[in-house]
Amino acid sequence: QMMTFPIYGAKPTPAVIMDAFGNSELLECEDALTFEKEIRAKAVAMGGMISSAEHGMSGELVKRSAIPHTISFAVELGRLLRGHGGVIDAIQDDLFKLFAESDYGVIKHLFTGKVVDSERKIIGGYDVGTATLQGFGSTGSGGSNGARDNAETKMELLIKNEYLVAKIGDRVVASVPDLICVVEQETSRSLNAERMRYGQRVAVYGIGCTHHYRTPEALAVTEPRAFGFDLDYVPLEKISID
């Protein structure tokens, strides 16, 4: 229900799901919320991973609901990261330039530090938990994209499959539907919540979502309260982290 397709009118079913052994099922659901619950339960029952074909739609609806240029942007981003393969600080200017020319909003360097705690458990098919990062010194990325990353500062990441909320102390510095991205500081490789481990040195970035997720109908299913957090959504560009 958080994808732009159902938000802007596409029905998720009829849908077909298949596990790694070729077992398949046809799903018919009344709405996206029901489909989300059904497909998640099926995924758990079928070994934790399934493939699906869903959200059949007309070309007109694709044009209205799809976020443009995402595949070509992913190619360019991957080319930048794979071509570099070193410390993220070295390509930060190029990274910011790439996002400035994209359909996404502002990008901010939120934090640099070491993972000092990570705790997650499976609840209702979701990977739920928190991760705590400890700053280890300034990275020189000051100004509007600066980060609170000195040795006395900690960042907490709230997780529900993805990084949903980032806090420095008691202050929220980024939240869904804006993107919170964690990369290995020394390799520039992306790091999802499942692979986060104690001792990893990471950099955290906030990326403003596209306008598709700033509408009332989108925020109804993507803002922090939709995930059970007692927080109002504040757009990334309106949050000061310095």
Interval 97-120: pLDDT, tens:
999 999 999 999 999 999 999 998
Residue 151 is predicted with a pLDDT of 72
Any domain includes 170: yes
Note whether 26 and 113 are same-domain residues.
no
Give the CATH number of the domain where residue 104 resides. 2.40.390.10
The mean-pLDDT minimum among 34-43, 138-147, 217-226 falls in 138-147
Given a contact cutoff of 8 angstroms between Cβ atoms, the answer to whether 133 and 180 are in contact is no
User: Per-residue pLDDT averaged across 175-181, rounded?
Assistant: 98
Task: Please answer whether residues 19 and 10 qualify as being in contact, where contact means their C-beta atoms are separated by less than 8 angstroms.
Answer: no
SS3 state of residue 26: strand
Instruction: Kindly state whether residue 74 falls inside one of the protein's structural domains.
Output: no
Dump pLDDT digits (tens) for 31-69.
998 999 999 999 999 998 999 999 999 999 999 999 999
Question: Distance (Å, rounded) from C-alpha 155 to C-alpha 110?
Answer: 9
Does 223 lie in the same domain as 158?
Answer: yes
β-strand pairing of 15-18 with 162-168: unpaired
Same domain, 113 and 233: yes
Whether pLDDT at 85 is above 90? no
Q: Is the pTM of this model over 0.75?
A: yes
Residue 70 domain flag:
no
Counting every residue written for the chain, the total comes to 242
Query: Which has the closest alpha carbon to 15: 24, 26, 7?
Result: 26
What's the domain count of the chain? 2
Residue pair 80/183 in contact by the 8 Å Cβ criterion: no
The residue segments making up the domain with residue 234 are 86-238
Supply the pLDDT for residue 141.
43
User: Is the same domain home to 36 and 96?
Assistant: no
Is the four-CA dihedral 19, 221, 121, 184 of positive or negative sign?
positive
Residue 126 counted as domain residue: yes
Q: Is the pLDDT of residue 140 over 70?
A: no
In a domain, 71, yes or no: no
- Residue from 108, 118, 129, 137 nearest 207 by CA: 108
- 178 and 226 together in one domain: yes
Mean pLDDT of the chain: 91
Q: Are 40 and 97 in the same domain?
A: no
Tokens of 107: 């990008």
The average pLDDT across 204-230 equals 95
Calculated CA dihedral for residues 130, 138, 88, 112, nearest 10 degrees: 0
Strands 51-53 and 179-184: unpaired
Residue 84: the pLDDT is 87
Residues 211, 100, single domain; the answer is: yes
pLDDT tops 90 at residue 214? yes
Give the model's pLDDT for residue 127. 83
Nearest to 109 by CA among 148, 73, 160: 148
Looking at residue 126, what is its pLDDT? Answer: 78
Residue 72 domain-assigned (yes or no): no
* In a shared domain, residues 203 and 126: yes
